[in-house]
Amino acid sequence: MGASLKQLENDTRRCLKQVHDNVHGDIHIDPLSLKFVDTQQFQRLRDLKQLGMTYMVYPGAVHSRFEHSLGVYWLASDAVNRLKDYQGWLGIDQFDIQTVKLAGLLHDVGHGPFSHMFEHDFLPRVCSGLKWSHEEMSLKMIDYIVDENYIDIGNEMLRKVKEMVVASRNPPSRTATEKSFLYDIVANGRNGIDVDKFDYIVRDSRACGLGCNFEFQRLFETMKVIDDEICYRAKEYLTIHKLFSSRANLHRTVYMHPKVKAIELMAVDAMIKANSCLDIVSCIDSPDEYWKLDDTILKTIETSSQPELKESRDLILRIRKRDLYQFCNEFAVPKERILDFKPVTPQAIICSQDSGDITLKEEDIAVTNVKIDLTRGRDNPLEIINFFEDYDSTKKFQIMDFRVSHMLPAAYQDVMVRVYSKKAELVGAVSKAFENYQLRTYGNLTQVHATPQKKQQRRLSFVLEEPEPDIP
C-alpha cells in the first residue's frame, strides 16, 4: 500500500511544471496554476523588482515579484498540505488546496512599478485622497487574467481566491465562512502570521546579503488548528517574535535605509513631473492598461527625447551619477509623543529656518516620516496569537510576554523623521532649520548627533567649483 501511494505521488509530480528557486529549491506548479503563470499579465511580475529601488544600495536586491509569488505559492501549498496530513478530520480537500495555492500565487499581481513606492509615495502625491491599494487592484487583475486568457476556473473557487488575497485588509466573517483557518495562510488578517511574510523575510535577507535567524519551518512543524484558527505550540513563542522582529529589522536596515529613501524620493519626483506627459495614473483602474505598467517606466523617461520630460530625465541622470538628494539628519519621535504625532512637512522645516543669506524654499527640502512596528502599530502582535500546550491539547490560550522573558521590548513602534536637501549646497541650512524645528517642537534636540561637517561643507566646495563669469 505504501509503495503504491509513493508511485502515485511520483506519477503526479511528473505532470507538474518544475521550477528551481534559489530559496526553496524545486517548486512544482500544478496545471491550473500554470495557466495563470503562462500569461502576459503574470509574467509582467518579472519586470517589477520586489524591493523597488533598493538594488541601487544593495546590488543583490534585484529579485522580482515573480520569484516571490512562486515562493508564496509553494509555501501556501506546503502549509495547507501539512494541515491536511496533521489533522485529516478538518476535511481539507483538493478544492481547498487548489484555492489556497492560487491565492498565494496571485496575491501580488496588482502591484505597480517599484512595488510599494508606487502605491504609498507616488499615487498620494498625484491623486490626493485616492483610496487605492495593490490588494484591490489584484482582484481586478485576477478577473482580467481569467477573462482575457479563458482560464477555466469555477466561480466559487475564484471568489474564495479573491477573498484570501485581501484577507489581511478584509478578514472574512468567522461565523459565516467554512474552514476560515484557510484564510490565515496567505494574508492573515487575524494575527499577521502568514506565508507571504515567511517568503519575503527569507528572500529579501538573502538577496541583500543579510543574516536571517527566523526559521519558518519550525512554525510549519508545530502549527495546529483549534476552533477554526491556526495556533502554535507555546514553546515557539520566541520563534514568532523573531518573525516580527526580523521584519522590523528589514524595514530599518533595508526598506527604509536613508539612501534607499533618497533614491525613491528622486524617482517619485521624476514620475510626478512625467505624469502630465505620460498620464501614468490614467491606467490605475483599468487592468487592460495597468498590466503594461512596470519598472521600465523610468527607462522610458530616461531614453525619451520629448522636451516635456527633460526635468524627469535630469533627475534620473542624477540618480545614475549618484548625485542624490542629501540625507541631512533624522530624529526619533519621543515615545510619549508618538500617539499624537502628526507628519512633519517641508513647510514646517522652512518655517524654522534662521534669517540669513540663504532662504530655503519648500521645493529645496524633502521629508520622510517613517513608521516601523511589529505589524500592529503601538501594540504587541504576540498578544493576539493563540498557542497550545502540546499536540494532544484541545484548548488554546494567549501568552503575555512578561511570562516568557523580561528582555523583550517594552515598546513596539518607532516613528522617525528624516530630512533631505535636494541640493548639496543647502545641506547646512537645511540641517540648521531641522535642528530649530526640534527645539521649537520638543524643547531640545532629539537627533542623535549633529549633521557631519563634511556634508555641510559641500556648500563651500560647490561655490568654489563654480566657474567665474566672463568679464568683457
- Give the residue numbers annotated as catalytic, written as ranges: 134
Going by the DSSP 8-state scheme, the letter that residue 176 receives in this structure is T
Using CA atoms, how far apart are residues 15 and 445, in angstroms rounded to an integer?
64
Cross-strand pairs, 232:
223, 387
Distances (CA, A) of 277 to 40, 124, 317: 26, 18, 19
DSSP state of 46: G
**Whether the Cβ atoms of residue 192 and residue 376 lie closer than 8 Å to each other:** yes
Q: What angle do CA 240, 243, 246 make, to 5 degrees?
A: 145
Take residue 135 and report the three cell numbers written for it: 490588494
- The answer for residues whose C-beta is within 8 angstroms of residue 94's C-beta and 6 or more apart is none
Q: How many CB atoms lie within 10 A of CB 256?
A: 18
Q: In angstroms, rounded to a whole number, what is the distance separating the alpha carbons of residues 136 and 157?
A: 18
Question: Both ends of the chain: CA-CA distance in Å?
Answer: 100
* Residue 323: how many other CB atoms lie within 10 Å: 14
Phi, psi (rounded to 5 degrees) for 21: -105, 140
Please say whether the beta carbons of 329 and 431 come within 8 A. Answer: yes
Closest C-alpha to 137, from 279, 268, 290:
290
Distance from C-alpha of 202 to C-alpha of 186, rounded to nearest angstrom: 16
**Which residue in the block uniquely carries the three cell numbers 507616488?**
122
